[in-house]
Structures are given as C-alpha cells and as structure tokens.
Amino acid sequence: MKALIPIANGSEEMEAVIVTDTLRRARWEVVLAGLSDGPITASRGVKLVPDAAWEQIDPADFDILILPGGTGGANLFMKHDGVQQALRDFDADGKWIAAICAAPRALNKAGLLERRRFTCYPGVEEAMPNLTRSDESVVVDGRLITSQGPGTSFEFALRIIAECDNPAVSDEVRRGMLL
C-alpha cells in the first residue's frame, strides 16, 4: 500500500508522525508531501522535513490520501487546489481517503462529507453547517476514514491498516507498539 500524507505549516505533528510511523511499521510506503518548500513548522513548533514537495509527486500513484489535523494545516489543505483536486479524484476513483481532527473540514470543502458518517475534533463540526459529527474515536464509511484528534491517532492509524490492508498486520503492529 502507498499512502500520501500532505503536511503544511500548522499541521499537528503528533497526528502526522504517529500515522506515518505506524503505517511504515506495517511495511507501507508513505510519502510526507510538503505544501511549501523546505521543512514545515508544525502546530507545536516541531520542524519536519517532507519526503517530497507536493509538486514532485503524482497523487494518482497512491492508494490512500491521509490528512493530519492542526487548524493551520487544515486551513491550508482547504485552500490548496492540488489537495482539493486530489480529494475529488480519490473519491471519484473509489480510492481510500482519511482525515483526523480539524482536517475533515478540507474533505467538506471538497464536497466529500455530504450524506457521509464522519467524525472530527469536537467543535470543528460547528464550522460545517448541516453536518453532524459522529461521537466515535474512528468512523469508517465506505472508503472514508475519519478520527477525532491526537489521542485517537494510534487507533486511526491501526484502523487504516486493518481496513485497507489486513487486520492481522494491524494487530501485529499494535502489539509491537505496546497498545
């Protein structure tokens, strides 16, 4: 499995790093794609060097598009034409999409949350009128996986592995991380 994870200034570093590390433990290929040049400064000041610039990759090469949260990063995902187009393309192609914390707003901006069950960081749904947040840690609706925040990041990543790949692999990775 190949996962594309955009990161931008203000992305939540725990959410980005927990998902990346956990998927790599499942032997997935993961690319952290930066929306700006050079290292990004995440929401609590951790500086991450992307594996590639967004412009250098082709989203069509990936099986799943995963958006970490962080208000600043999610705002940039809402404004970025490439990320918005990739979300619509993944949805149209029946490929997996996942988002956590504030990032479901970027899915909504791309028109992907109507008539879908989803969750997000409690309160973030107030910026999405007419939509109702499910109160589960992780919600799977078709090929859309959403989750709530830093404390649900491990469950989010392990569920992505279980749903898109193999529950046994997910369990093995869980045990190795002592969860």
Residue numbers at the binding site for its own copies (CB under 8 A):
12-14, 17-18, 20-22, 24-25, 32, 39, 42-49, 51, 121-122, 148-152, 154, 174, 177-179
Based on the residue annotation, tell me whether 101 is a catalytic residue of this protein. yes
Rounded to whole angstroms, what are the CA distances from 21 to 25, 31, 43, 55, 107?
Answer: 6, 11, 18, 23, 23
Minimum distance from CB of 79 to its own copies (Å)? 24
DSSP 128: S
Q: With left for phi above 0 and alpha for psi between -120 and 50, is residue 37 left, alpha or beta?
A: beta
* Sign for the pseudo-dihedral over CA of 171, 173, 174, 175: positive
The whole-angstrom separation of Cα 90 and Cα 142 is 13
The whole-angstrom separation of Cα 177 and Cα 57 is 30
CB 146 within 8 A of CB 120: yes
Residue of 86, 101, 107, 173 marked catalytic:
101
Contacts of 98 (CB under 8 A, 6+ apart): 64, 65, 66, 67, 144, 145, 146, 147, 156, 160
Minimum distance from CB of 117 to its own copies (Å)? 19
- Which residues are the active-site residues? 101
